[in-house]
Chain A
Amino acid sequence: MPKVKKDGDELEVDLTETEINQIQNLLERGPTFTEWGMFDVMHSEHCSYKSSRPKLKLFENAEENYDYVLAGPGQDAGVIDIGDGYCLAFRIESHNHPSAIEPYHGAATGIGGIIRDILCMGVRPIALLDPLRFGTLKDNPHSQWLFKYVVKGIADYGNCTGIPTIGGEVEFDKSFESNCLVNVACIGLGTIEDFEHAPSKATTPGDYVILMGGSTGRDGIHGVTFASRTLTEMSEADRPAVQIGDPFTKKMIIEATLEAVKTGYVRGLKDLGGGGLSCALSELTGDGGTGAKIDMSKIFTREPGMNSFEVMLSESQERMAFIVKPEGLETVLEVFQKFEMAHAVVGRTDDSKVLKVYDGNDLVVNLPATALSDAPPIEREARRPAYLDKLLNQKTPVPTMELEEIIYALIASENICSKEWIYRQYDHEVGVRSVVKCGDGDSGVLRIIGTNKFIAASVGTNSKHCYLDPYEGAKGGLVEICGNVLASGAKPMAMVNCCNFGNPEKPESFWFFSRAVEGMADFCKELRIPIVGGNVSFYNEDEVTNTSIKATPVIMIVGVIEGKENIVTLPFKKAGNAILMVGETKAELGGSEYHSVIYDLEGGMPPKIDEQKVKATWDFLLESYENNLIHANHDVNKGGFILTIAEMCFKNGLGADLNLKECTIDELRDDELLFSESVGRFIIETSPNDLDMILKIANKHDIRVKKIGDITNNAQIILNGLKGNSVKLNLNKLKNLYDSTIPNLMEI
C-alpha cells in the first residue's frame, strides 16, 4: 500500500499513484493529514464506485425515461410517484464485510445505515427486507454462528426502531462460508411534498449546518476502506472498524428528523454513513454548488482529545447532518430538544465552493467541495473464466433414488425448507400495514392507510444460476423477483439492485460483474422497469482459502396493487379448484437444488430467459387478475414445481391430485420435468368454471398454460402421468421435513 508523507509522519493510503498525483496537482500543494485521510476514504471503492461506474452507465437513465421516477441512481434512495400524492423511497445496500467479522453489530448497523438513507429523503421508513447468504449450516459451527447473530442483529435493531421486516431471502452455499452476505433494503413512504422538502444538498449560502444524533467517536474509522479490500487472516484485527449500533437513538432520530422536516425550515438533509463527516459535508456542498465553514470544536465527541483526522473519518452511527434556513434555526433546535437529541450548530454554508474545517485557529481542511467525489474511474479488464465450459457441460446423472425420496430430500434441504425460524424473530407487523404476512405470499404486502392502495415488495436472486451464467442468471433473478411481486397481484414498478461480487482487480471476478450488469440493463430496458438505485460490493473474496463468492446480483422490486380485492396470496383456497401451470418447463437443471442436494454437482445448463415470453406471461396474469380468475399464485423456484405445490397445500391443509401428461413440450425425463428450475413459471389456482376463460386469455397472449390437476381435501400429493410409476407424497411428512430443518440445525 502506498504511503504519503507529511511533516515527517507517514500515512498508509489505499490510493493509486495516479490518484496521489492527481490530488497533488489539483490542490497545488501537499494535502494535510486529515485531507489525505478524507481522500483515502472518498476514493475507496465503497464510496467512489471507481471500478463499477463505467459499467453502470449501461443502465438507462431512470429519471429521464420514466415520468413517475422522482429520484434515480446517485441519490441516497430511489423515489417513485405512486399516485394520490404519495411517493415511495427505497434502496438496498450491503453490509457484508462488517458482518463477516462481527455478525451481530455488522448486521445491526447495516439496518441502521439503510434506514438513514431512506430518512434523508424526508419520508418515514415503513419496511425492511434482508437478502442473506451464508455457508451451508450442517456440521458447520462457523456458518451457524454467523447466521444466528446476523438474524439476531437484524431483529434487535429493526424491531426496536419499529420498522417491520416484511421479507427477505436466504441461500446457503459453501462459497459464502468466509464471506457471508448481508444485504439490507428499506422502503419509505411519504407525500411528494415531504420528499421535496428535503433534498440532500446545501443549495443556499448562509444556512446553518447542524449535526444531530449520536456523538462522534473513534469507532468505524476507515470502515469503508476495510470494506474495499478482500478478507484476510488479519481481518479479525479490523473488528474496531465495525461500528456499534444504537437502535433506540435511531428511533429517536427518525421521529426528530421527520418532525424537523415538517417544520419546513430544513433545506438539506444527509445521513452520516460510510465516510462519515467527510462524505456528508463534501456531498452536501459539492452537489449544492456551495461551500461551508465548519468549526470542529463544536462537534460533540464521545471522548476528549480526538484529532481532526479522527473526527472527519469517524463512522460512528446514528448521526444526521441538517442544512437549516437561518430564520428557522430556533424552531428546528426546539424539535431536537423535545426529543432530547444531542445536536450542535457546527458551521454555515457560503458561496466559496470550498469546504473549510477549522480546529481552533488551524485550518485543517481546505478543499474544493467537489474534489473528494471526483475519483477517476478505472477501466477493469473482464475475462470469462475457462472452467465455466466444463461446468456447463455437466450432465444430469440418471437417478438411482426413487422420485419420492428425492422430493423428501429436497424439501428438507437448507435452501428450500421453511424460513420461519428467521421471520418469527422479526417484528413483521408493527406499523399496522402488513396485510400479507411472511410465508403467506411471494412478497410482503403493505397497505397505505387512508387509501385503497397496497405496496408489494420482494428481494433476491439465484446465486447458483448466476455462477454458471451471470448474464442469464441476473435476468433470471429479475424474472423471479418481478414474478414474486406479480404473484401478489402487483405490477412491478421499479427496481434497485445490490451487486455482490469478488475482487474487481481480477479479470475473472470482474467478468461476472460485467455480465450481470449487462443482463440487468438489457432486461430492464426490454420490460420497461426503471433502475432507480443500486449498491456495489466488491472484494467479497477471502485470501485465506482463495475463494470468491458466487456472483450475487440481488434484485429488489416494488409494485403497487390498486384495491384490496386484487391482492393474491400463495395458499390454495378450496378443494375442487383446478391447479394450472403457467410457463414452459425445459431441461434446465444447471445450478439447481436437485443437482446440488442429490448429486453435489454445481454445473449443467442454467435457465435461459426469453423476454417476450416473460412479458406475455405478465400480461396474461394481469388480465386474469382483472377478471378475478386467480385465487392463489406462487412462482416456481428452487427445487421445481412440486415443491411450489407442496407449499401451497400446507397452510389450509389441502392436497393435490396431479396428472402431468400434458405438462411439457420437450421430451423430458421425469426428474428433469419435476426438478427443472426454468424461470418465469407460476402455479395458479382457478375455479373449474373459469378454466375456459383463463385458457382463452393464455391463448390470446400466446403462452403455455395447462391444467395439471385438482386441489383435494386429502393430505397427499399424487403424481400421475409420469413416464415411470406414479408417486404418492405424504403432506404431513413433507410439512414436518419442511418445518424442522433449520430448527434442528440451530436449536441445541
Chain B
Amino acid sequence: MTIKIAVIQFPGANCDLDTIHVLNNVVGVEASLIWHNHFKQSQFDGCVLPGGFSFGDYLRSGIIAAHSPSINEARIMLKDGRPIIGICNGFQILTEAQFLPGALLRNESLKFVCKWVNIKVENNTTAFTNKMNLGDNLAIPVAHGEGRYFTDKLKELEENNQIVFRYANESGEITDGANPNGSMENIAGVCNLEQNCIGLMPHPERASEEILSPKKTTHGRLFFDSMVEFIKRRTS
C-alpha cells in the first residue's frame, strides 16, 4: 500500500521541506506539502505539523495556526485515530489547539537554543514510538526559543502515561544539566490519551540521516518508521 502523509505548510513554517525530504527520500512514504488552507484530511493516512515560525510566532507561538481551518480537518483525523505529530512549532500549535495538554513557555535562559541533546523514551506504545524500546536514549537536536514545557496536570499525565520523552544526559540520566530549556520534569514530548497524537520540541527530521548526526545515529527515523508501522497495523 502507498502511505500518504500530509505535511501542513503554515505561512512561516520552515522545516516543511526538510520533513518532506526525510519522509519521501529517507523513509519512503508519499508525503505532500499542503498549504494550510487547502488541507483535506480524507486524502491522508497521517499528518505532520512541521517546525518553524507559523505566522511569525506573532501574538504567541502556535496560537494563530491553531485557528487555521486545517486544524479542524486535523481534528477529524485525531478523532478517527490516524497519527498526527507536531514537531517544535507543530508541538506548540497542537497544545494551543488542545490536541495535547500543557503549554510551551519561553526558555529559562531567555535565549534561543540550537544543540544536539538526548531524550529518553518513556512510552513506547504510541503511534510514533512503537519501534523504540523503553529507556532508549535518542540523540536528536533542538532549536527553539519557546520550548519550556509546563502543565498543571502533571500527575494526570504521569498516571496516564502521556509523558513520552524526557531530556537526559549522555548516560540516560534525567538531570537538570541535560534540560536545555527548563521544561518541567525534563519533559520533551507528550501524547494524547489515545496515543495517536504526539508533540515534541526536538527535531526527528534533522536526526534521520547518518550524515547529519555528530554521532552517526539515525534515531529520528524511528519516529517515522513507527508511524508507518502504526498505519499498517491500523489498516490491515
Contact = CB atoms under 8 A, between A and B. Distances in A.
B52 A162 contact: yes
B114 interface: yes
Contacts of B52: 162
Contacts of A339: 11
Contact of B11 (A155, A340, A434): A340
A431 B17 CA distance: 8
Contact of A429 (B56, B57, B111, B212): B212
B218 to A, nearest CB: 13
A505 interface: no
Contacts of B25: 449
Given A248-B55, A248-B58, A252-B11, A425 B112 contact: yes
A160 B53 contact: yes
A429 B143 contact: yes
Interface in A235-287: 246-249, 251-252
B205 A432 contact: yes
B56 A246 contact: yes
A431 B18 CA distance: 6
Nearest to B52: A162
A191 interface: no
B130 interface: no
Interface in A525-575: 564
Interface in B6-28: 11-12, 14-15, 17-18, 21-22, 25
B35 A430 contact: no
A629 B53 CA distance: 44
Interface string A138-170: 000000000000001001100111100000000
Given A162-B52, A248-B56, A424-B114, A430 B18 contact: yes
Contacts of B1: none
Give the dominant DSSP class at B's interface: mixed
A427 interface: yes
Nearest to A433: B212
B206 A429 contact: yes
B211 A447 contact: yes
B90 interface: no
Interface string B98-118: 000000000000011111100
Given A159-B143, A338-B35, A440-B214, A430 B14 contact: yes
A432 B209 contact: yes
Interface string B142-156: 010100000000000
Interface in B45-59: 51-53, 55-58
Contacts of B114: 423-429
Interface in B182-225: 203, 205-206, 209, 211-212, 214
A435 interface: yes
Given A339-B11, A429-B143, A437 B209 contact: no
B21 A435 contact: no
A435 B211 contact: yes
B86 interface: no
A431 B52 CA distance: 11
Nearest to A450: B25
B141 interface: yes
Interface string A495-535: 00000000000000000000000000000000000000000
Contacts of B35: 338
Contacts of A423: 114
B211 A437 contact: no
Given A430-B15, A449-B21, A251 B53 contact: yes
A162 B112 contact: no
Given A248-B55, A339-B11, A424 B212 contact: no
Contacts of A425: 111-114
A430 B58 CA distance: 20
A320 B103 CA distance: 37
Interface string A322-352: 0000000000000000111000000000000
A247 B114 CA distance: 19
Contact of B141 (A155, A160, A429, A447): A429
Chain B CB within 10 Å, residue with most, of A161, A247, A248? A248
A152 B209 CA distance: 30
Contacts of A431: 17-18
Interface in A161-198: 161-162
A695 B12 CA distance: 53
Contact of B115 (A162, A249, A424, A449): A424
Given A162-B15, A162-B52, A246-B56, A432 B111 contact: no
A248 B12 contact: yes
A440 B116 CA distance: 13
A435 B213 CA distance: 8
A430 B143 contact: yes
Interface in B145-183: 145
B22 A251 contact: no
Interface in A431-473: 431-432, 434-435, 437, 440, 447, 449
Nearest to A447: B211
A447 B111 CA distance: 28
A435 B57 contact: no
Contacts of B112: 155-156, 159, 424-427
A160 B57 contact: yes
A160 B12 contact: yes
A248 B113 CA distance: 19
B236 to A, nearest CB: 32
A437 B116 CA distance: 10
Given A424-B115, A427-B112, A432 B21 contact: yes
Chain A CB within 10 Å, residue with most, of B55, B57, B113, B143? B143
Contact of B212 (A152, A340, A427, A435): A435
A152 B107 CA distance: 14
Given A248-B55, A425-B112, A162 B211 contact: no
A650 to B, nearest CB: 14
Contacts of B214: 437, 440
Interface string B22-48: 100100000000010000000000000
A155 B112 CA distance: 8
Contacts of A248: 11-12, 53, 55-58
Contacts of A155: 111-112
Nearest to A425: B112
A423 B205 CA distance: 21
A252 B206 CA distance: 23
A9 to B, nearest CB: 40
The 7 closest A-B pairs by CB, nearest first: A162-B14, A248-B56, A432-B18, A427-B143, A160-B53, A425-B112, A427-B114
28 contacts: A155-B111, A155-B112, A159-B53, A159-B143, A160-B56, A247-B56, A248-B11, A248-B12, A248-B56, A251-B14, A251-B56, A338-B35, A339-B11, A423-B114, A424-B114, A425-B114, A426-B112, A428-B114, A429-B141, A429-B206, A430-B18, A430-B51, A430-B206, A431-B18, A432-B209, A434-B212, A435-B211, A435-B212
Interface of A: 152, 155-156, 159-162, 246-249, 251-252, 338-340, 423-432, 434-435, 437, 440, 447, 449, 564
Interface of B: 11-12, 14-15, 17-18, 21-22, 25, 35, 51-53, 55-58, 111-116, 141, 143, 145, 203, 205-206, 209, 211-212, 214
Given A159-B53, A160-B57, A447-B211, 19 more contacts: A152-B111, A159-B112, A159-B145, A160-B14, A160-B56, A161-B14, A162-B52, A248-B55, A248-B56, A340-B11, A424-B115, A426-B112, A429-B141, A429-B203, A432-B21, A432-B206, A432-B209, A434-B212, A449-B25
